[in-house]
Every structure is written in C-alpha cells, then in structure tokens.
Amino acid sequence: MAYTNEERSTLGVIAGAHAVSHIHLLVVPPLFPLLRDLLGVGFLELGFALTVANIVSAATQAAVGVMVDRLGPRRVLMAGLLLGGAAFLLLGLWPTYPMLLVASAMYGLANAVYHPADYAILGSAISEERVGRAFSIHTFAGYAGGAVAPALMLGAAWLGGVPAALFLAALLGPLAALPLLRGAMAERPKPKPVRAAGAPRLLNGTVLALTFFFLLINLFNSGIQNFAVPAWAMLDGLSLAAGNTALTAWLAMSAVGVLAGGVVADRTKRHGLVAAGGFLASGFLLLVAGLASLPLVPLTLVMSASGFLAGMIMPSRDMIVRAAAPPGQAGAVFGIVSTGFNIGSMIGPMAYGWMLDHSRPSMVFVTTAACVGIAVGMALWQDSRASARRAVLAAAE
C-alpha cells in the first residue's frame, strides 16, 4: 500500500534530518589534515575531539529520549538540528582547538536527539503496514548523508577554506529544521506517563538487552568499516586499493539491503527471526572473507552478500525496539538502546587497534563473528518472547 501524502511529507522531512545528522558526524574527520595545520595540533588531539562527542552522546541520549516523549519529538528534533548547526558556525567563526572541543560537545549532544526523535515521529505518523519501509528509508538516508559528507566537506574546503566547509555544515542544520516548525509549534508538553498495572517498566530487562544488542551491532560494523582493510593487508598482503574495493562493495550493498529489509519487515511479525537469520549469514560470510585468503573478485562478491544481509536486518532491528517500547515512551526507549552505539564507538576502536598493534589481524574477524553469534542468540530470544506475547493476546481475545 502506498504512503498517504501526509506520511510521504513526514517521511521526507525526517529522512532529510537523518541525512543531515550523518553529514554532521562526518564534518570533522575528512578535514583532519587541514585542521591539524589550522589549529596547530596533532591527530591525537583531533581524535580526542571525536571522543568528546561520543561521550556526550552516550551520557545524554537516554535523558534526551525522555525529553522527546515529554516535550514533543518535533520540538526536540528542531533543537538538535539548530544546535548541530550552531556548533559548526561557532567553530567556523573561531577556529581554535578549545572551540573544537566545545563544538564537539555541542554536536555530540545534538546527535543524541536524532534516533529518539526520528523513530518517535515515524512510529506514530506512519501506518503499521508501512512503518518497516519507513524505517528503512530513514536508515538509508543516514547512509546517503554519510556517503556524501567527505566529498562535500573537502569540496567546500577546496573552494573556500576550512571555514567555508564549516559554514556549509552549519547551514544544513536550520535548513533541515525549517520544515519541522509548523508541527513543532502544534506540539504540547505531556505529563509524566503513569505506568498501568502490569505494564513493563521503562528500564526493563528487554530494553537493557536491546541496548547490549545495539552495542554488538556497532562492534560488528566498526570492525568491518574501520579495521578490515588493514587487517587484510596484514593477513594476506592485500593492497589498500583492493581492500577498499571490497569494503566499498560491503557498504554499498548494505544500503541496498536496508531498503529490501523494509519490505521484509512490513511482511512479517517475526522480526527477531529475520534479524537472527540475516545477521548469522552476514557474519559467516564476513568470517570467510576475513580468513579464507580470497582473490579480489570472490572477496568482493562475498563482501557484497555480507553487506546486503547486514543492511537487511536494520529495519527489523528497529521494529524490535518499537515493539519493546511502553505506550507513549518510544523516544525514551530508542534513546536508551541507542546508547549502545555510543558505548561501542568508544571501546571498539581501542580493542581492534590493540589487535592490529599486536599483530593479530585475524582476531578482528573472529571478534566480529563472536559479536554476531551473541547477537543472534539475543535476537532469537527476543523473537521467542514476542511470539509468546502474541499467543497470550490471541488466547485472550
């Protein structure tokens, strides 16, 4: 069934905001060589700025999720977009290292807004039979924003210097926020929800398990995206060009898989089973790609298949979280579970970097496979719980 005009408009606005959020995440890294010279600091100091952003996001995401449910998701999303834009505006006006740290904290806080607010809006505005596809388009928009960000920032810096790139990033925030203004003005603060008798608490075992599930997904993805290429070079002597070709195939097919996964998510209630099956197959293929010393063409094909399956599970993952949220608290639940991403972003690079520094490149692939194995078990557990709940509800009718 096709989207209504109102659903299409809402989806376009929220997908655009998500694309901007991913562009904002990748404003600083492509500019590292230029910022190093401009600010007179080293890569260690620049890397610390990214750590600051992740720490702020991790520390605030759960609280921001509660704000989404209380104040209104459009209001909070507008605030996040404007805050992210202001961060890069200030850095462009005063390009110093202390201001970089301030800007990093600001866009780290802004980044805490997007998942809770976006999913709360989509979950309530899109009909049940189309929400899986809506989630997939939202995720795809994030992939697209991340894909164009490096070229966009470097192109702007080439034309007008680092400040021009920062001003362009700053402008994107209010541009994405403007279409939200009418809806935000119509929202009204809500009282603290009263938990009905027998209803689950907000911070329950399922939500905590899903937070760990998100952490495992992040460790899986970061291991591939950031460390597979140097691991292949150490294991098999694979050139950087060949390794990046295989990685690019994984990333591109992940984006395609996300769109296919939306269709799958709308056609089944067994989202845990879909996530488990897709994740297991993707992890197995990645283990083959990492340890089997494949030539470039077979390696690229295996990575393409792994990427497609890894992307396909994403809408089902989001549907699992949506189902776990108590009524009126979707923003809070998405805020809590998304903290797993931030925690993974803090511990994954150090763990994988240690493996490469100690000449254990195969452990990169073994560790990602282990994360897959645990995540598969958790997804099957969640699916069995959901099936049991559906059976109880059916028996009560």
With respect to residue 244, please indicate whether it lies within any of the assigned structural domains.
yes
With respect to residue 194, please indicate whether it lies within any of the assigned structural domains.
no
Do residues 181 and 49 both lie within one domain?
yes
- b or e along 266-283 (b: 16 or more beta carbons within 10 Å of the residue's beta carbon)? beeeebbbbbbbbbbbbb
With respect to residue 166, please indicate whether it lies within any of the assigned structural domains.
yes
d(CA 390, CA 233): 49
Residue 199 confidence (pLDDT): 52
Q: Are 332 and 204 in contact (CB under 8 A)?
A: no
pLDDT tens, position by position, for the chain (397 residues)? 677 888 899 999 999 999 999 999 889 888 888 998 999 988 888 888 888 898 899 889 888 988 898 899 999 999 999 999 999 999 999 999 999 999 999 999 999 999 899 988 998 888 888 888 999 999 999 988 988 888 899 999 999 999 999 999 999 999 999 999 988 888 777 766 655 555 556 667 788 888 999 999 999 988 888 888 888 988 888 888 888 889 888 988 998 999 999 988 888 888 888 889 999 999 999 999 999 889 999 999 999 999 999 999 999 888 888 887 777 777 888 888 888 888 888 888 888 888 888 889 999 999 999 999 999 988 888 777 766 666 655 565 5
Residue 109 confidence (pLDDT): 95
Q: Are 16 and 141 in contact (CB under 8 A)?
A: yes
Please give the single-letter amino acid code of residue 176: A
Do residues 367 and 221 both lie within one domain?
yes
Residue 196 confidence (pLDDT): 53
Q: Which two tokens stand for residue 193?
A: 């929800």
Do residues 240 and 290 both lie within one domain?
yes
d(CA 141, CA 133): 12
Q: Are 176 and 81 in contact (CB under 8 A)?
A: yes
Residue 192 confidence (pLDDT): 63
Do residues 362 and 267 both lie within one domain?
yes
Residues of the domain holding 332: 205-396
Q: Of the candidates 141, 158, 186, which is a domain's last residue?
A: 186
Q: Are 351 and 272 in contact (CB under 8 A)?
A: no
With respect to residue 196, please indicate whether it lies within any of the assigned structural domains.
no
Do residues 235 and 379 both lie within one domain?
yes
- Domains in the chain, number: 2
Residue 306 confidence (pLDDT): 94
Do residues 136 and 257 both lie within one domain?
no
Do residues 147 and 242 both lie within one domain?
no
Q: Of the candidates 186, 215, 246, which is a domain's last residue?
A: 186
Please give the single-letter amino acid code of residue 271: H
Closest CA to 202 of 106, 333, 55: 333
Which CATH number covers residue 132?
A: 1.20.1250.20
Do residues 49 and 159 both lie within one domain?
yes
Residue 18 confidence (pLDDT): 95
Do residues 258 and 148 both lie within one domain?
no
Q: Which two tokens stand for residue 52?
A: 């600051």
d(CA 138, CA 17): 9
With respect to residue 191, please indicate whether it lies within any of the assigned structural domains.
no
Q: Of the candidates 128, 156, 186, which is a domain's last residue?
A: 186
With respect to residue 64, please indicate whether it lies within any of the assigned structural domains.
yes
Do residues 257 and 347 both lie within one domain?
yes
Do residues 158 and 107 both lie within one domain?
yes
d(CA 232, CA 242): 10
Do residues 157 and 31 both lie within one domain?
yes
With respect to residue 193, please indicate whether it lies within any of the assigned structural domains.
no
With respect to residue 195, please indicate whether it lies within any of the assigned structural domains.
no
